[in-house]
Chains A and B, each alone.
Chain A
Amino acid sequence: MSCWETIADYGLRSIGIGERLLPRSDFTLCQQFVLIGSGMIWNIYFGVLALAFGFFMSVTVALGKGAQSPWLRKPAEWFIFLFRGSPLFIQFFLAYEALVLLPRAGIDILGITIETSWTTRAWAGALFVLFLNTSAYAGEIFYGALRSVPKGDIEAADAYGMTGWTRFRRITFPTMLRLAWPAYTNEAIFLFHATALVFFSGFPAWQQRGDALYYANYFADKTFNPFVAYPIAAFYFICLTLLLIGLFGLINRRLNRHLPAERRKSMKLRPQLIR
């Protein structure tokens, strides 16, 4: 079987298109590359959606934590503490067990039955956990940036007569984003890495549709040889990380475009590793 046929058979296997059975013996390098690459679809799906939804949630959380009123501040603080203080692995398990307990038949609200069984599936349940998790981490980052918005910027906005929403939209928010961006890039990288945990943490891979690490683990278990499958998965993740750094670097350039050249902080190629 040529490699093109393998790509046709297994290229979209992780989303259920193509050959139904996974290869069982005599694995070729091509099969491993294709199937693990196919699993990356899920990693990108989880990462992109959690990041996109999480962005709005995290700005909200950051504003909440920076608010004067304890009614807004306390919930935001607790939310951040809860999700930053506990392991993601435990959060996945806990969420799965909680979602399993929802009534099987669905919940009846005003005569309309709301299905619940889909929440225990990885595409929804794990995405939800990742979304909350990244919101908390990014919320803390944005909160820190919010507090380091230069006083002069706010005063200048006041002098122009800007208040409330206008001031936030045109001064506070862009500056906050600019200051937080390098740290946020780091968080995005970690989020994509964290997506590799999903299928090891309670959420079952339905019909063997898993992510890159799920397939890498499958091959390593079958061949009892970790030296091929895991490096392939690592290779894909390195590519993904480089792509992310490039993309976020472009956005960073745009966020900093109004600054004089010497004050522009170019993104470091050596991102911090610490979440």
Chain B
Amino acid sequence: MFSYCTDPASLEGIAWLSCYLTTGKHFAFYGSFGTVAILLLITAPLALAFGFAGAIAARSSFLPVRWLGKGYTAMVRGVPDIIFFLFVPIALDQAFEWTRHQVLCPDWDQPVRQGSDFVVCNAAKLPLSSAPQWLHEGYGFALAVLAFSVVFGAFAANVLFGVMRAVPRGQLETAEAYGMTPRQSFWRVLVPQMWVYALPGLSNLWMILVKATPLLFLLGVEDIVYWARELGGSKTSAYAYPHPDWRLYYFLGLLVFYLMLTKVSEVVLGHLTRRLTHGQATAGGEAQRRAAA
């Protein structure tokens, strides 16, 4: 990057380090922090939407839908999330390809599963084998995001299902007394009031989501863990910047990054909780009122 970096072998000390830390691969490493941020920013709202749908389904008066919702909320209860992270992307990938296979190649006569192979016709492959590299990576990342959203949606559904029952019964009875239909009282009374009860659970969920992001590495995405291992591994003199095994320092960097991320989240969420409890008929709101008085 700098003009004096043309011959790394002749450099020493700070100059060497400044050149080392600005190589193309290091910029890919810095960029992968963006990958984590994108994952968080897409997954959080998507998981919330999944969770909301799951919670509504679990409250449905129509039995099959209720079973579906209950099953979705129960799925994360006894099974480690990492099993889902390994399972969901492959399962989704195969489900997509199989569906496309059925639609695009109806006259294909061989079975899809042949021994230990999963064979679909060429037109059904996702992404197509002729697709550019970025599309392959993007598809992998999208599957990862979907896996995260499904799993954390189930967590969120648990939180929201409990929270919908925490809204005082009197509020809903009042709504009914005013002649609101169940749909109206749900959207106009229950949903606006439930967020303050949901906040502790959801902030906890955000913390878990943040701490689950390094699992992206297991899904084959080139994230910060991938680059930390890649760059930290010992480099022989065949490389421009030879160095011994520095993975420990790279992982220390990641540790500090995550500690800062969780600390900042904690402060922001604490602030948000105080804002939302203001004026609410809860113990927290009451405590705020007393402190001010």
Residues of A near any B CB (own CB < 8 A): 25, 81-82, 84-91, 93-94, 97-98, 100-101, 192-194, 196-197, 200, 213, 216-217, 220, 222-227, 230, 233-234, 237-238, 240-242, 270-271, 273-275
Contact = CB atoms under 8 A, between A and B. Distances in A.
Interface of B: 76-83, 86-87, 90-91, 94, 113, 115-118, 155, 158-159, 201, 204-205, 208, 210-215, 217-218, 225, 228-229, 232, 245, 247-248, 251-252, 254-255, 258-259, 262-263
Contact of B251 (A84, A90, A241): A90
B248 A101 contact: yes
A94 B208 CA distance: 19
Contacts of B204: 274-275
A225 B116 CA distance: 8
A66 B245 CA distance: 40
Contact of B208 (A25, A216, A275): A275
Given A233-B83, A238-B78, 20 more contacts: A82-B259, A85-B258, A87-B211, A93-B225, A93-B228, A93-B229, A93-B251, A97-B248, A100-B245, A101-B245, A197-B80, A216-B83, A220-B87, A223-B116, A226-B86, A230-B83, A230-B87, A237-B83, A238-B79, A274-B208
A134 B270 CA distance: 24
Nearest to A27: B116
26 contacts: A25-B116, A84-B262, A85-B259, A86-B255, A90-B258, A97-B245, A97-B247, A97-B251, A100-B245, A193-B80, A193-B81, A197-B82, A200-B82, A200-B218, A213-B82, A220-B90, A224-B117, A224-B118, A225-B113, A226-B90, A230-B86, A230-B87, A233-B83, A234-B78, A273-B76, A273-B158
Contacts, number: 120
A193 B218 CA distance: 16
A167 B248 CA distance: 45
Contact of B259 (A81, A224, A227): A81
A192 B80 CA distance: 8
Given A193-B80, A226-B90, A237-B78, A86 B155 contact: no
